Amino acid sequence: MAKTKLVRVNLSALLRKEWTCVAEVPEDYDESDLQELAGKFYDEIDGGEFWDDEHYWEKGDCHCEALHTEEGEKPEYRVARSSGRIRKITIPRRVRREREKRTREVEDEIEQRVEDAIRAAGHKSQMVMYAANPYGDDDVPTNNLDEVCFQGDCFIVYEKDYGVPYISSLLHNPTFLEAAVCANSALHASGDEDKSFFEGVRKSKKKMFCGVKAADHDAEFVELCFGS
């Protein structure tokens, strides 16, 4: 079998923006005057008043770059050696259906475990949606609820411009499931309904939060990350 390699194809196109009006001008304006007038309008009209002309495209920078095998990218198109023909790589229907089935199974399992944990914690309702799980090489989500989301002692925190800031009890090697329960508590405290998808945690630079000094407990503050 002939050897192949992966490249990333980058395309760009320039979309024209337009502005138009009808102007009343002196009758003796000739072509030169009209051209000068167009320039004056261009200088004076605010760019925010222009709109996209979706029917006009101009080719921008287009190039390919080689990928390193360790980047783990999957090809979406294949180029034939002899003809140079470009073909989109399609997934067989049987494989696609199997992936969809396994995806539903994993998502249902995650949803049920998060719901049970939130109920066990005594929360009145569930506001959080779990979205912190990665996808495997087969594009099927993985259940990472039992994996540690932060190594060591920490306080999980969350703060918005409004609502009550949230800080958890001192935790040791919290799992993603524990963090999801904290995320639900944080959403109830802040009243934030715009971003309910829990996407993970990140180490905070804060040294003090809600009167608690992390150094006093040999711990770190870990912030909840949400998306919409």
96 pLDDT band, cuts 50/70/90, is confident
pLDDT at 69 over 70: no
Mean pLDDT of 88-94: 85
Percent of the chain with pLDDT over 70: 97
Mean pLDDT, the chain, integer? 89
Q: Which residue has the tokens 């040791």?
A: 172
The alpha carbon torsion through 175, 178, 182, 184 (nearest 10 deg) reads 120
Cα atoms in the Cβ-side hemisphere of radius 13 Å centred on 211 = 0
pLDDT at 48 over 90: no
Ordered by start, the domain boundaries in the chain are 7-88, 129-227
Which of 71-80, 140-149, 161-170, 204-213 has the least mean pLDDT? 71-80
92-110 burial by CB neighbour count: b if 16+ within 10 A, else e? eeeeeeeeeeeeeebeeeb
The token pair at 174 is 């919290």
